[in-house]
Amino acid sequence: MKRKYWLETYGCQMNIAESNALELQLKGAGLTPAKNAEEAAVAILNTCTVRKSADNRIWGRLGYFGAIKKKRPLTLIVTGCMAERLKDDLKGDAPYVDFVIGTNDKQRIVDILASPNGTYDEKEEKYTFSESYYREGEFSSYVPIMNGCNNFCSYCIVPYVRGREISRDINDIIRELHYLDAKEVKEVTLLGQNVNSYHYEEDGKVITFPALLRRLCAEETKHIRWIRFDSPHPKNFTKELIEVIKREEKVAKHLHIPLQSGSSRILKAMNRKYTKEQFISLITTIRSAIPSVTFATDVMVGFPSESEEEYHETLEVLSFLQCSEAFMYYFNPREGTKAVELEDQIDEETKSRRLSELIDFQLEIFQSVRRARIGDILEVLVSQRTRDDVNRMLGKSEHNEMVAFTSDAPIGSFVTVRLTGLKGNTLQGEVV
């Protein structure tokens, strides 16, 4: 078996979690991480294909590794969503790639490397969850609880590369929670492409996502303080789920709820299965039940046929939402999705202009939301030292805010901080 590996991860939190699980398997099989790509005997690229920019970046990296292979032996493996979507293209256009392994087959990589002949028997793939997704030494950890998506938003390639929804055994999730607690992890993030559609049957009884959250919060843990989840779908955000978030102290009161568009017509064209009015009603209900809640969101501009008026509807909803984080992008056509075939595609100049305006608009909201927090007293999880001052620490709050403060508290501990100001995008605080 080759001894040193180099692993690169692109894309979403699920890919990061799956790379963590793969690293555990590689190390368990006796491989060690290389200090850099140049000294590795095995290079593994865990790819993303949500946007064209991700594809382009990976093609560039493949060219780099192809050049290395001309100089010395190197086993090159491409896995993940791009490998699933462009398997034949990768084999034809990058023949120096040794193995192209789909999204659901990552766990066979160690078997391939251990095989005397380095063979890979392509057979029907079925997604299986790993025992753990922990990365050694980290105080925050991802816990995938479901995979795949049944929604088929018209712009999204995920259902085609991840497959249909499958939920993880609740007992495995609970076991991993206790394993992470024993590792002194302080916060966990439950992951799924549509995390709140979790649906598992145990002894003839259906366990929904709210029920899962209640079970996890009821487990006795010594170190885990916060439980987060990402990404929920607005259409599956039930009153029962809101009540669980309200009542359970461990559930972080910071919610990432994707908006995508503020226009009901565009939302329908996106096949999002909710209207602008329903989204606003959901946010209003959550705020009424949980006054301390903060929000993050995803928003897209430049979807086919989006008018200027509909674009401004999105800005209006964002103004109402007042989120402290937003992932902003413009429509990027993906072959194989329905949105590629829609009429009235928006030109690149218009999409770029709308995105630039959106970013400026949202940055003002970020500043306003953060300034309003000055004076608050909150707990933060110490995560690292600041770059410019070894006596200053950075920490993350329950609301996912980054806070800088002077302290000698160890990384991984909690401290109580009063927010005193704002420097750039980072809140400033003092320990109390």
The pLDDT of residue 126: 79
Q: Does 3.40.190.10 match the CATH number of domain 140-371?
A: no
Domain ranges in the chain are 4-114, 140-371, 377-431
Per-residue pLDDT, 118: 60
Q: How far is CA 31 from the centre of its chain?
A: 27
Q: Quick check: 230 and 191 in contact, CB under 8 A? A: yes
Give, to the nearest 10 degrees, the angle between helix 276-289 and helix 239-247: 30
In this prediction, residue 390 has a pLDDT band, given cuts at 50, 70 and 90, of confident
pLDDT > 90 in the chain, percent:
87
Lowest mean pLDDT among 8-17, 22-31, 48-57: 48-57
- 377-431, superfamily in CATH? Nucleic acid-binding proteins (2.40.50.140)
Provide the CATH number for the domain formed by 4-114 in this structure.
Answer: 3.40.50.12160
For residue 343, give the 3-state DSSP assignment: coil
Residue 190 has pLDDT above 70, yes or no: yes
Per-residue pLDDT tens for 270-304? 999 999 999 999 999 999 999 999 999 999 999 99
For residue 318, give the nearest of 383, 368, 389 by alpha carbon: 368
User: What integer is the mean pLDDT of 325-333?
Assistant: 95
Band the pLDDT of 111: cuts 50, 70, 90: confident
Residue 196 CB partners (closer than 8 Å, separation 6+)? 209, 229, 232, 233, 236, 237, 238, 241
Instruction: Single out the residue of 55, 109, 107, 101 nearest to residue 78, CA to CA.
Output: 101
Question: Could you report the per-residue pLDDT of 343-388, keeping only the tens digit for each?
Answer: 999 999 999 999 999 999 999 999 999 999 999 999 999 999 988 8
- String of DSSP letters for 319-333: HHH--SEEEEEE---
Domains 140-371 and 377-431 share a fold: no
CB contact set of 270 (below 8 Å; sequence gap of 6+): 153, 154, 155, 260, 261, 303, 339
